[in-house]
Amino acid sequence: MKRLLKIFFVFFILCGLRINVDAQKSTISTVVIDAGHGGKDPGAVGKYSKEKDIALSVAIKTGNYIKKYLPDVKVVFTRTSDVFIPLYKRAEIANKKDADFFISIHCNANNNTRAYGSETYTMGLHKSDANLGTAMLENAAIMFEEDADQQYGGFNANAPESYIQLTLIQDEYQDESNLLAAYIQDQFKNRVGRRDRGVHQAGFLVLWRTAMPGVLVELGFISNLNEEKFLKSDEGQSFMASAIYRAFKQYKIEFEIENKPKENGVIVIATGLEYRIQFLTERVMVELSDPRFSGLTDLEMYQQDGLYKYTSGHFATFDKAMSTLSAVKAKGFNDAFIVAFSKGKRISVKDARSLETSLK
Ligand SMILES: [Zn+2]
């Protein structure tokens, strides 16, 4: 019997081998937002909320932010209501849509009710028992699946050795997955003020089966009263969703700059140099959906010296930014001006222009 299981396992691994036949993509055009659990599978259960409900709310909010502010990205949800979807089906949905990224949204839980904070996982071998434990909790979802034995080749969600086998194969998307994971954690920490538990690896069945970069976000611990309260609140859910959206946006912009064919011999790639049009500075944070901003595209906010600064557009050259400046002023922002960034950090326009010239 043991031998048979082993044969099954090898078969299971071979079937799951990721084959990348695509030519190098240059844009991020489809993202799958996966709300963990659902229906008969509640996920982790807190004092007065269930993981499946929080995951769904945050997933939908995240997808809606992306739809609204990145209209060139197609958003695919694995579920938009309280229904049960097997893990393999979620990956199937993403693979069929040829998605460029898979983002799975969850809440963590621990017997230690003092544990709290956000963490983001990518596919890989766990380095700690705690990380293995998280994967075990999440993979336990297959216990609700009737044909799990067939679908996962006898994978035992509770056996540590199963996880070592699962992660034996090098994940070709690891770098991209880890990059978005880091951006998400950065947003959680610096923009939402959550405790940053870091980026980790573990063997998640749902990520293993997706043929694209993917992350599994643990928003926080539903088993911690304070965190549960935050995650259950509409405001908390909006904050977490907008954080994931901004991280995704940063990833997309950088990915597309890096994979962009050279334009007139200008290599924007190495420096991540870009110009934006800054049209507003505020002492308090304003939502990007503020009605005043309607008509402006490609909005972004960054913090500097305790102020919130709002920009529109991303331009590879100063001239391109200049040609759009008057249009922004015409929307009622007469004081709008051009700012420059290198790899996401603000630099002087003078430095940016000389950098731009030196690259020509
Ligand atoms: Zn979960």
* Residue 164 phi, psi dihedral angles, 5° rounding: -65, -45
Distance 345 CA to ligand 1 centre (A): 34
Q: Which range among 10-19, 166-175, 249-258 has the greatest average pLDDT?
A: 249-258
Alpha-carbon torsion 60, 55, 117, 184, what sign?
A: negative
Q: Say if CB 248 and CB 182 are below 8 A apart.
A: no
* Residue 264 phi, psi dihedral angles, 5° rounding: 50, 35
Residue 265 is predicted with a pLDDT of: 39
Q: What is the pLDDT averaged over residues 267-279?
A: 74
Which segment of 15-29, 144-158, 188-202, 249-263 scores lowest on mean pLDDT?
15-29
Provide the 3-class DSSP secondary structure of residue 23. Answer: coil
CATH topology of domain 265-359: Alpha-Beta Plaits (3.30.70)
Encoded tokens for 240: 């977490």
Alpha-carbon torsion 282, 285, 286, 287, what sign?
A: positive
Distance 219 CA to ligand 1 centre (A): 10
**Per DSSP, what are the bridge partners of residue 220?**
none
Termini Cα distance of the chain: 66
Percentage of residues in the chain having pLDDT higher than 90: 64
Res. 358: pLDDT tops 90: no
Res. 35: pLDDT tops 70: yes
**3 alpha carbon, distance to own chain's centre:** 39
Q: What is the pLDDT averaged over residues 112-122?
A: 97
Indicate the pLDDT class of residue 360, thresholds 50, 70 and 90.
Answer: low
Distance 354 CA to ligand 1 centre (A): 49
Q: Among 122, 163, 141, 150, which Cα is nearest to 35's?
A: 141
- Give residue-wise pLDDT tens across range 179-228: 999 999 999 999 999 999 999 999 999 998 899 999 999 999 999 999 99
Residue 93 is predicted with a pLDDT of: 97
Which of the two residues, 217 and 305, has the higher pLDDT score?
Answer: 217
With vertex at residue 338, the alpha carbon angle to CA 332 and CA 339, rounded to the nearest 5 degrees, is 125
What's the pTM? 0.71
Mean pLDDT of the chain: 88
CA distance 158 to 156: 5
Indicate the pLDDT class of residue 13, thresholds 50, 70 and 90.
Answer: very low
Provide the 3-class DSSP secondary structure of residue 288. Answer: coil
**Per DSSP, what are the bridge partners of residue 341?**
274, 346
What are the strands of the beta sheet with 101-108, ordered from one edge? 74-77, 30-35, 101-108, 214-221, 118-123, 196-202
Distance 56 CA to ligand 1 centre (A): 11
Domain 2-254, CATH 3.40.630.40 — does that match? yes
In sequence order, what DSSP letters do the residues of 338-350 get, joined into one string? EEEEETTEEE-HH
CA distance 190 to 179: 16
For helices 318-329 and 349-359, the axis angle rounded to 10 degrees is 140
Q: Which residues surround ligand 1, an ion (CB under 5 A)?
A: 36, 43, 106, 138
Distance 327 CA to ligand 1 centre (A): 45
Residue 136 is predicted with a pLDDT of: 95
Indicate the pLDDT class of residue 271, thresholds 50, 70 and 90.
Answer: low
- Give residue-wise pLDDT tens across range 47-94: 999 999 999 999 999 999 999 999 999 999 999 999 999 999 999 999
Distance 122 CA to ligand 1 centre (A): 14
Distance 240 CA to ligand 1 centre (A): 16
The domains of the chain are located at 2-254, 265-359
Residue 251 is predicted with a pLDDT of: 94
Distance 45 CA to ligand 1 centre (A): 10
Residue 261 is predicted with a pLDDT of: 59
In this structure, the number of other CB atoms found within 10 A of the CB of residue 187 comes to: 24
Q: Residue 8: what residue type?
A: F
Distance 4 CA to ligand 1 centre (A): 30
Which segment of 69-83, 308-322, 343-357 scores lowest on mean pLDDT?
343-357
Q: In the 8-state DSSP scheme, what is residue 152?
A: T
For 229-233, the CB contacts below 8 A with 24+ separation are 231/49, 231/54, 231/58, 231/107, 232/46, 232/48, 232/49, 232/54
